[in-house]
């Protein structure tokens, strides 16, 4: 298992750098600091499992991923993983139909290859051929300018003050508007819009609230199809760890940081929850912008207060339910190929969300059904004769907030009853849309936003840090450098959402720290 236990191993006091959080953003930053500057980096993870949303968990006979359900097959991301893991992480391509959209019973397949995707959409919507071409052009234009937008986060502040607006403007032309606004100018076909935006839970907001920038980034990320890590999601942390450990670095679990130490306006290390001080002239936070500025920093000052005010106005991203299911048959026996399902009650995703927010008995606004055992060719060797499935659904955190002070697994009868009803409904939906598992479920376990809050330390059970609204992409404080010298941010809030976005946040953070562009090395994959 990757990661030493803080409670069971003696940890040295002095380090070149300390990274708070072992999500992919923290691991990426740590690996790059080790590879490019030979820094001795300590990665501290409060959870007993390292990897953040890339870790897996086990029950007798089964295992599930908690956040990495697939990544896109686009070359830059794959090469970046090759570089971080030095080729040790293998990927299994998903089926040609990587996602299947089901809207009120109507089925639409999303196929790998942008031109094949274009042709398939035109076969479904022949009268909207021109609109489909315009949509793909808008997505490509947005993706084209993404690099310049992220580069502005790395350049010296003096350069950003002079040229930052010009660097950000082409991307913000798209990202500063909602997905619904952009698509509304392209097509009036509501069903087409519903299909094109059915993956909205991949970035946590329906079209009327999400930035078209994040929509375009996610969609283009999957244009060449999907892939899954061979050996499961936990292989990501396992294969990045050697680059961190090579220069004396360590990844430590069950290690809760109380706050970042600041001395004379500079980061000086961290104070652990047990009172121990660990020192480093460089601290990198993968705990999220809100956690970092509101909880990990005790310092005051005008610059910090300005950042806190901006972040306080930003929405947290969506909370969610995850139903983890195990069956005593193999994926092959059940006929599960690995294609993800996106199940929506209607093509109006914003109305679906609004209806569900008001009434827990309403239809789930979207269901994402994933088949990890069908995606991983090594699953059968680890768990012979078994299959696993997952069902994810967005849910308002407010429904659970009254139990947030209760303890995990001891939240009371009312909570348990509410949770059991949600689990029952999700199981019924799963059996309806995947009839091969009907009556065969051997094990099921539901996580709620309070589970996410407990394990991931997100105050509102967020899946994606700060919400991907147009406002979020206009915020100037979401850069790796902070007002505290020697303290940097990494992860989703620095770049964009999901595993690929968080990894990019790690590249941006390490580039800013070292004062050089590390993207060429990542793109080369070696």
Summarize pLDDT for 306-330 with one digit per residue, the tens. Answer: 999 999 999 999 999 999 999 999 9
Tens-digit pLDDT profile for residues 105-150: 999 999 999 999 999 999 999 999 999 999 999 999 999 999 999 9
Predicted confidence (pLDDT) at residue 101 exceeds the cutoff of 90:
yes
DSSP annotation of 133 reads H
pLDDT of residue 525: 67
The C-alpha atoms of residue 8 and residue 4 are separated, in whole angstroms, by 8
Q: How confident is the model at residue 157 (pLDDT cuts 50, 70, 90)?
A: confident
Burial 460-480 (b: 16+ CB within 10 A, else e): bbbbbbbbbbbebbebebbbb
Average pLDDT over residues 360-372: 97
Domain total of the chain? 1
Phi-psi region of 389 (alpha: psi -120 to 50; beta: other; left: phi over 0): beta
Tens-digit pLDDT profile for residues 25-37: 999 999 999 999 9
Average pLDDT over residues 364-391: 98
The C-alpha atoms of residue 420 and residue 321 are separated, in whole angstroms, by 12
Instruction: Evaluate whether residue 511 is within a structural domain.
Output: yes
**282 Cβ contact partners less than 8 Å away, ≥ 6 residues apart:** 16, 17, 18, 33, 39, 267, 486, 488, 513
Q: Taking Cα atoms as reference points, which of 18, 3, 10 lies closest to residue 279?
A: 18
Q: Where are the beta strands (DSSP E) in 116-225?
A: none
Instruction: Evaluate whether residue 478 is within a structural domain.
Output: yes
Average pLDDT over residues 456-481: 93
pLDDT of residue 526: 66
53 token code pair: 């949303």
The C-alpha atoms of residue 78 and residue 247 are separated, in whole angstroms, by 25
* Domain, as residue range, for 257: 4-56+230-315+465-524
Instruction: Evaluate whether residue 482 is within a structural domain.
Output: yes
The C-alpha atoms of residue 37 and residue 40 are separated, in whole angstroms, by 9
Query: In 3-state terms, what secondary structure has residue 488?
Result: strand
Which residues are bridge partners to 93 per DSSP?
227
Predicted confidence (pLDDT) at residue 426 exceeds the cutoff of 90:
yes
Contact between 200 and 207 under an 8 Å Cβ cutoff? The reply is yes
Distance from the Cα of residue 374 to its chain's centroid: 21
Which residues are bridge partners to 395 per DSSP?
319
For 111, the enclosing helix (H) or strand (E) is strand 106-111
413 token code pair: 């009868």
DSSP string, 170-197: HHHHHHTSBHHHHHHHH---HHHHHHHT
Instruction: Evaluate whether residue 36 is within a structural domain.
Output: yes
The C-alpha atoms of residue 99 and residue 341 are separated, in whole angstroms, by 6
| Burial status of residue 10 (CB atoms within 10 A of its CB: 0-12, 13-18, 19 or more) | exposed
For 453, the enclosing helix (H) or strand (E) is helix 449-456
Predicted confidence (pLDDT) at residue 2 exceeds the cutoff of 80:
no
DSSP string, 18-67: EEE--SHHHHHHHHHHHHHH---EEEE-SSSSSSGGG-EEEETTEEEESS
Sheet holding 257-263, edge to edge: 257-263, 266-272, 277-279
Instruction: Evaluate whether residue 304 is within a structural domain.
Output: yes
For the chain, helix (H) and strand (E) counts, in that order, are 20, 21
CATH number at residue 497: 3.50.50.60
DSSP annotation of 128 reads G
Which residues are bridge partners to 92 per DSSP?
228
pLDDT of residue 524: 81
Predicted confidence (pLDDT) at residue 99 exceeds the cutoff of 70:
yes
pLDDT of residue 79: 92
The reported pTM is: 0.96
Q: How confident is the model at residue 74 (pLDDT cuts 50, 70, 90)?
A: confident
pLDDT of residue 272: 97
Tens-digit pLDDT profile for residues 185-230: 999 999 999 999 999 999 999 999 999 999 999 999 999 999 999 9
Average pLDDT over residues 503-510: 96
pLDDT of residue 198: 98
Instruction: Evaluate whether residue 222 is within a structural domain.
Output: no
Predicted confidence (pLDDT) at residue 1 exceeds the cutoff of 90:
no
Q: Taking Cα atoms as reference points, which of 192, 179, 274 lies closest to residue 218?
A: 179
């Amino acid at each position: 298992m990757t990661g030493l236990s803080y409670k069971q191993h003696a940890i040295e006091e002095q380090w070149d750098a300390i990274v708070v959080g072992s999500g992919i953003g923290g691991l990426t930053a740590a690996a790059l600091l080790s590879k490019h500057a030979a820094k001795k980096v300590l990665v501290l993870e409060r959870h007993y499992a390292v990897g953040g949303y890339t870790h897996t968990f086990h029950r007798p006979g089964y295992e599930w991923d908690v956040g990495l359900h697939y990544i896109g097959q686009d070359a830059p991301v794959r090469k970046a993983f090759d570089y971080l893991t030095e080729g040790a992480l293998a990927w299994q391509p998903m089926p040609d139909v990587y996602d299947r959209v089901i809207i009120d019973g109507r089925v639409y397949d999303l196929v790998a290859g942008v031109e094949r995707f274009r042709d398939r959409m035109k076969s479904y919507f022949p009268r909207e051929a021109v609109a489909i071409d315009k949509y793909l052009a808008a997505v490509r234009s947005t993706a084209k300018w993404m690099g310049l937008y992220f580069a502005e986060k790395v350049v010296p502040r003096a350069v950003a003050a002079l040229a930052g607006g010009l660097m950000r403007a082409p991307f913000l032309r798209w990202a500063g508007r909602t997905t619904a606004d952009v698509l509304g100018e392209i097509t009036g076909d509501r069903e087409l819009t519903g299909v094109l935006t059915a993956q909205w839970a991949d970035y946590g907001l329906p079209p009327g609230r999400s930035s078209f920038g994040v929509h375009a980034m996610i969609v283009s990320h999957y244009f060449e199809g999907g892939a899954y890590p061979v050996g499961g999601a936990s292989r990501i942390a396992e294969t990045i760890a050697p680059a961190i450990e090579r220069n004396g670095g360590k990844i430590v679990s069950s290690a809760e940081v109380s706050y970042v130490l600041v001395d004379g306006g500079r980061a000086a290390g961290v104070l652990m929850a047990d009172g121990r001080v660990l020192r480093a002239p460089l601290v990198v936070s993968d705990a999220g912008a809100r956690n970092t500025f509101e909880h990990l920093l005790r310092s005051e000052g005008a610059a910090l207060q300005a950042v806190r005010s901006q972040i306080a106005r930003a929405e947290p991203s969506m909370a969610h339910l995850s139903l983890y299911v195990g069956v005593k048959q193999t994926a092959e026996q059940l006929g599960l190929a690995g294609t993800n399902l996106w199940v929506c009650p209607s093509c109006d995703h914003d109305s679906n969300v609004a209806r569900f927010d008001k009434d827990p008995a309403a239809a789930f606004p979207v269901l994402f059904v994933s088949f990890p055992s069908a995606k991983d060719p090594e699953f059968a060797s680890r768990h012979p004769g078994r299959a696993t499935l997952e069902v994810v659904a967005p849910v308002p955190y407010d429904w659970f907030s009254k139990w947030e002070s209760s303890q995990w697994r001891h939240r009371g009868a009312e909570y348990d009853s509410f949770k059991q009803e949600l689990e029952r409904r999700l199981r019924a939906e799963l059996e309806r849309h995947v009839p091969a598992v009907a009556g065969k479920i051997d094990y099921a376990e539901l996580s709620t936003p309070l589970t996410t809050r407990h394990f991931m330390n997100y105050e509102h059970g967020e899946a994606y840090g700060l919400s991907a609204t147009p406002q979020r992409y206009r915020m100037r404080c979401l850069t790796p450098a902070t007002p505290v010298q020697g303290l940097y941010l990494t992860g989703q809030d620095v770049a964009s959402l999901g595993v690929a976005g968080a990894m990019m946040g790690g590249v941006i953070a390490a580039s800013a720290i070292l004062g050089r562009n590390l993207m060429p090395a990542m793109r080369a994959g070696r």
